[in-house]
Chains A and B, each alone.
Chain A
Amino acid sequence: MSEYILEMNHITKEFSGVKALDDVNIRVKKGEIHALCGENGAGKSTLMNVLSGVYPHGTYEGDIIYKGEHCAFHNLRDSEAKGIVIIHQELALSPLLSVAENVFLGNERTSMKGVIDWTETRKRAQEMLAKVGLENEDVNVPVNTLGVGKQQLIEIAKAMAKKVELLILDEPTAALNDEESRKLLDIMLDLKKQGITCIIISHKLNEIEYVSDSVTIIRDGKTIETLVKGKDDYSEDRVIKAMVGREMTNRYPEREGVEIGDVIFEVQDWNVFHPDDEHRQMLKNINLKVRAGEVVGLAGLMGAGRTELAMSIFGRSYGQKISGKVFINGQEVHLKTVKDAVKNKLAYISEDRKTYGLNLIGDVKENMTIAARPFFFSKHGVINANDEIVAAEDYRKRINVKTNSINQVVGSLSGGNQQKVVVSKWMMTQPDVLIMDEPTRGIDVGAKYEIYCVINELAKAGKAVIVISSEMPEIIGTCDRCYVINEGEIAGELNKEDFSQEHIMQLIMAHMRKGDENGK
């Protein structure tokens, strides 16, 4: 048997013609911790879903060789039976069930068929917890009484209960603080000693440097390279270069003839606390300014607090104990509700169009006009249906929404066209300040280009546009200036001439290091 526990060779996976993975190769040695790195959307999660059978054998091309055998997994159960367990970023625990029950969720200890053996369950759960450093926990308390860090460890214990040999962790520390993260990483090193192989997906390069033995970098669905600790240059800078070293082609339309005017949007000393935990500060002393005709980016990693910032400003849709000032067109405004925000010419396009943006069973017209309706399409509460139809038709043509008619149900449109409907909805409210949160997430290249054109059009019309994006090329391609946000604080500000992915990453890393030092 070779030294590799897992070899994935020439993996290609297409989604309706678009290659999410293109001839990807990854080889993981037995007993090592192997990191998988890449930007958002590079294909990391797709690759892991191929491995774990979420995308069944036959829907992708290429070979998976695990412990010397060719594998053809058809679902998660198949891969788990072989000892491959994946732990997703979102915890898969049932919050009100006990710790012990969660450890054996879907894998119950039974005496007879279907009858749970509680003594065995508790005893074995205790053993599993000991393996992840939680030997002092009471296995009978509901799992939601524990902190997120411990819940993450219980996920690992759950994997241990399934006799895991290859453990995959997708962004395990994203929701953890430094201390909890450190503990989790040490547990991983401990598991390594017990002979368990791990694959870790993480954005936090300092963690990868600390815990992993080798790292494979994926970019745009292709393997770039694999670096081995002690053999290759294993620094953060080296990894960043591999992650982002892409040539910029003409994916962003030029913005010409835009005059940048006065500051029309300003946020001062903005502080926000977590909605469920009044002691957890999510945003600290945020200050930012946007001028008329200017496109300003908010760069940062997922979970940096950018969406929270936008939503807390937009009618206090997020958080509690919010303090700070907002100025629009030089006037201080108090945006207590979304309606206040819309009235004061602020619009926010959510990052998650399906959950927060659209009524999927409603038609195109209805979705486009719902926000602007009280202000533009009605009189004394009675709707002017013809005005609505005219406006919806106008926007459909203007930003090229591909739909049979404005009466088509939005749920049946493609992602890109759905996004255009959301964008139309907010343009119809005629805002002066528009916050676009991940405006091109999950949409194809053509639709992306059209969204960028809309951004340019808005800037030309003298609007202030804020673009939140986790794709650094998008920030660089579309913005005049950007703020880099990390862990709820502004880590730095870059002007167009200083834009580069390395600079953004360096600001984030510097801020993280500062946070670590302050933490110690």
Chain B
Amino acid sequence: MENKKTVNMDLKQYGMFLILIVIFIAFSIATQGANAKPVNINNLIMQNGYVVILAIGMLLCVLTGNIDLGVGSVVAVCGSVAGIIMIDYKLNMWVAIGAALLVGLLVGLFAGFFIAYLGIPPFVVTLATMLMGRGLTYTLLQAQTKGPFDQSYNFIGAGFLPVIKIPFGDGTLDLVSIFVAVVASVLLIFSEIKSNATKRKYNFAVNPTWQILLKLGLMLFIIWFFFYKLARNNGLPFVLLIMVILIAVYGFVTSKTVAGRQIYALGGNRKAANLSGIDTRKVFFWVYVNMGVLSSIAGIVLAARNGSATPKAGDGFEMDAIASCYIGGAAVAGGAGTIVGAVVGAFIMGILNNGMSLLGWSTDLQKIAKGAVLLLAVTIDVLSKRKKG
């Protein structure tokens, strides 16, 4: 007997995408289309690359029910270490990158040790790394900006992947971007078909066809919108490649691996996780080590985009990363949240920043608006959960 089970999609899962689109459209209207221009879309990605990278790592911390306040300072330390190696010691950029990653790893090991094995609250430990890291940066750089860096290094933050440009309309079109968009679309459609086939095979409930089509259509639209705009500009930024790789890897780790799910179990109920055979100290340790490494990647990217290392680099980034996770639907108490959510959260913050800048608002006003959006997003999240429970 054919048993056709269908179930409606959980709209809340896609609510963030809708908010992202609504905010984008609102700013499009307010800026008379300025924020949808190809060069601005490109800026949006380049300016938010490091926040996205940090938000990915921060999500793991948030999943445990904690935060990492030190990431902004680690970004600065790693950038300055890379800068000193390249400018003062005139060494190869790969040495600089290696050293920066090593410093991030060491900070992570340091924080992880105190948090996991000595049981010091993460808030305190990372407050300490935040202060120590900032102080260390000023000491290393002697409060001076270090630069300019070599073009080959700056490529990481400001470079583009190879392009094949053809004349198109009033400008050019990059065929590589279009090609990637085609591949992404095919993969997306393919994975959707496969996942539905698997569901049917095991006789699991599937979503109604019109909902699947609507979801696919919306996602294809977003992909093509972004890639078309990028194709009209200079092609695909290198930062985008880093972001996509990290999102894919961490999306996989958090949803499909034993280690990833242990973070959720720990955040949901630490005692129960312990009694289920999970070494929760080990989980804590690696979450913070990972945050250190990702902070150093963000530091390398930021220094490359700026073309220099400055003592104030990364100031306040921890707050943007934390806010991204919460806006993206992660639970403050831990145990719930997704990588995609955190990334979308980071872009919502980015679109707000970018849009308000285009409108000529002062940074002071921008902070007020960002604070309000954070509060609103989390309030809606908490209230909607309360209604359900």
Contact = CB atoms under 8 A, between A and B. Distances in A.
B191 interface: no
B335 interface: yes
Given A373-B261, A374-B258, A374-B277, A412 B389 contact: yes
Interface stretch (A60-68, A85-93, A338-346): A338-346
A385 B198 CA distance: 11
Contacts of A121: none
Given A373-B261, A383-B258, A386-B202, A361 B277 contact: no
A314 B274 CA distance: 11
Contact of B261 (A357, A370, A425): A370
Contact of B271 (A356, A362, A381, A405): A356
Contacts of A370: 261-262, 265, 273, 276, 278
Contacts of A350: 272, 275
A339 B272 contact: no
Given A356-B275, A374-B277, A361 B261 contact: no
Contact of B202 (A348, A355, A362, A389): A389
B213 interface: no
Contact of B335 (A315, A361, A385): A361
B335 A339 contact: no
Nearest to B259: A381
A507 to B, nearest CB: 30
A358 B271 CA distance: 9
A342 B268 CA distance: 21
Contacts of B274: 317, 338
Contacts of B275: 314, 317, 338, 348, 350, 356-357
Given A342-B277, A355-B271, A356-B272, A405 B258 contact: no
Interface in B241-273: 256-259, 261-262, 264-265, 268-269, 271-273
B82 interface: no
A362 B335 contact: yes
Contacts of B276: 338, 370-371, 425
Contacts of A362: 264-265, 268, 335
Contacts of B335: 359, 361-362
B103 interface: no
Contact of A386 (B198, B257, B272): B198
B276 to A, nearest CB: 4
A60 to B, nearest CB: 26
B59 interface: no
Contacts of A317: 274-275
B272 A382 contact: no
A411 interface: yes
Contacts of A314: 275
Interface centre among B258, B261, B268, B277 (most CB of A within 10 A): B277
A360 interface: yes
A405 B7 CA distance: 11
Contact of B268 (A360, A374, A412, A425): A360
A357 B268 contact: no
A145 interface: no
Nearest to B262: A370
A374 B335 CA distance: 19
A390 B202 contact: yes
B273 A383 contact: no
A337 interface: yes
Interface in B196-243: 198, 202, 204-205
A412 B271 CA distance: 20
Contact of B256 (A348, A359, A360, A382): A382
Contacts of A425: 276
Closest 10 CB pairs of A and B: A359-B268, A371-B276, A338-B277, A339-B277, A359-B269, A342-B277, A378-B258, A362-B268, A361-B335, A370-B276
Interface of A: 314-315, 317, 337-339, 341-342, 348, 350, 355-362, 366, 370-371, 373-374, 378, 381-383, 385-386, 389-390, 405, 411-412, 425
22 contacts: A317-B274, A317-B275, A338-B274, A338-B278, A350-B272, A359-B264, A359-B272, A361-B268, A370-B276, A370-B278, A371-B276, A374-B258, A378-B257, A378-B258, A381-B259, A382-B256, A382-B258, A383-B256, A386-B202, A405-B205, A411-B389, A412-B389
